Amino acid sequence: MEREVALKIVSEQLTERRYIHTLGVMETAIELADLYGEDVKKAEIAAIFHDYAKFRPKDEMKNIIKEQKMPNILLEHNSELWHAPVGAYLVEKEVGIHDEDILSAIKYHTSGRPNMALLEKIIYVADYIEPGRQFPGVEEVRDIAKHNLDQALVKAIQNTIVFLLKKNQTIYPDTIETYNFLVLKGGSAS
pTM, two decimals, is 0.95
Q: What is the mean pLDDT of the chain?
A: 96
For the chain, the maximum distance between any two Cα atoms, rounded to a whole number of angstroms, is 42
Residues in the chain: 190
State how far the Cα of 60 lies from the Cα of 135, in Å rounded to an integer. 31
Residue 189's pLDDT is 53
Q: For 70, phi and psi rounded to 5 degrees?
A: -75, 160
Identity of residue 113: R
Chain segment 122-153, per-residue pLDDT in tens: 999 999 999 999 999 999 999 999 999 999 99
Locate the domains of the chain by residue range. 3-136
Name every residue whose Cβ is closer than 8 Å to that of residue 190 and which is 6 or more positions away in sequence.
none
Give percent of the chain above pLDDT 90: 96
Chain segment 3-52, per-residue pLDDT in tens: 999 999 999 999 999 999 999 999 999 999 999 999 999 999 999 999 99
What's the CATH architecture for 3-136?
Orthogonal Bundle (1.10)
State how far the Cα of 68 lies from the Cα of 60, in Å rounded to an integer. 12
Chain segment 177-189, per-residue pLDDT in tens: 999 999 998 865 5
